[in-house]
Amino acid sequence: MPQLNKTHDPSLQSWVASANDGSTDFPIQNLPFASFRRRGSNEAMRGGVAIGDQILDLKAAAQSGVFSAEVQPALEAAAKDKLNEFMAMGKTAWSGLRAALSSALGAGSALEASLKGCLVPQAEAEYGMPCVVGDYTDFYASVYHATNIGALFRPDNPLLPNYKWIPIGYHGRSSSIGVSGQSFPRPCGQTKAPDAAEPSLGPCKRLDFELEMGVFIGAGNELGETIAIDDAEDHIFGMCLFNDWSARDIQAWEYQPLGPFLAKNFASTISPWIVTTEALAPFRAAFSHPAEDPQPLPYLDSDANNAEGGVDVALDVLIQTAAMREAGEAATSLATSNFKYSYWTMAQMVSHHSVNGCNMQPGDLLGTGTLSGPNAEQACAMIELTCGGKNPVTLPNGESRAFLEDGDTIVIRGFCQREGAARIGFGEAAGTVLPAKV
């Protein structure tokens, strides 16, 4: 597990004043990575690090000549339009560059004058995918979500017997993953009503969101090699927010016997910033399965994972309808939850993914699955919140939703906060539903 070091010191301040207000997602203790350029420009995309309401342009920083020869290769790799090369360099390079950036951006840094010109306001930026996602796997890591969904379809047997033994997942589609600000047409597909004699083709009527987190693989493994659980976090570069949009009526008709297909591959939205595993070190949490549940098999079990395999990330999912947007009303919360409710840890997901010798690669993305918590207000998908559409949610402006309508924007936010540590956040993952193309 990443260890605390001087970059986590809550007393650290930055010469970028907006990083010091105590409420920003991006204090100097965070320093997440993204790919960006100035909005509306023809500039090439390049790597950036968030600091307060600014972005440190890593390409400009690399060209400034003020960083040491020791960290320059990592800086140049992180400055490219995609982070894959930097991700592949491993934790020593990641940690070394993070330490150098922390020092360079710290209050009193001798590099302030050289780097001020390398800042770009976040308000003037647009973002691209932070890396090439070669493969995407979606897990099913909340036992509360799995139980709630199972109860809708199998009231007498909501949780299948393998769930508490194995991190369940399926391979998804990476080409339709987009960064926050993504908009997409309502998907079309085959559906079959319970009283219909045959299926029909048309726009999805039960469109849903799923509040998840994404886990990015850094250094990979060779085909045939496994990743031991105590080594797994050496292969994890960082985390983002993730919305796995879902067409529930298409899913209900197609998912047996091989699982999700067109109901899941039309769009997924991530936050632009990848918060590194090292930045999350102050917010680690103990992990365990309830004593009455099956305990993980040895390849999924370790003292380190039990001590701090969890991560305390507070999560919120909000909706802004077209009517709210036109009235100038802000998005309103639908549900809150926390990554610490995950039944499986990041390390367990990675170890299980590779136990058969699967070769994971820099930039691969693992979705956690919907991160619902134990309480009703922590149901992080419309299908749960509305009991399959039977109990629509009433919004503050009087509108109601059983499932998502055209024009709806879903926003996911997340942050970590703990006494004795600086609050850090993930920004947001926002996506908007457009009318179907028919």
Tokens of 179: 């960064």
- Residue 179, strand partner residues: 270
The active-site residue, picked from 145, 235, 352, 353, is: 145
Strands (E) in 204-349, as ranges, are 207-208, 211-217, 236-243, 246-247, 268-270, 275-276, 284-285, 310-311, 314-320, 332-338
Cβ atoms 31, 55 nearer than 8 A: no
Separation in Å, CA 275 to CA 76, 195, 265, 354: 19, 48, 25, 23
**Single-letter amino acid, residue 255:** Y
d(CA 237, CA 126) in angstroms, rounded, equals 22
- What pairing do the DSSP bridges indicate for beta strands 33-38 and 125-128? antiparallel
Cβ atoms 216, 237 nearer than 8 A: yes
Indicate the DSSP class of residue 297. Answer: P
Cβ atoms 435, 25 nearer than 8 A: no
Cis peptide upstream of residue 161 (ω within 30 degrees of 0):
no
**Chain center to CA of 322:** 25
Is-catalytic flag, 352? Answer: no
Indicate the DSSP class of residue 67. Answer: S
The catalytic site residues sit at 145
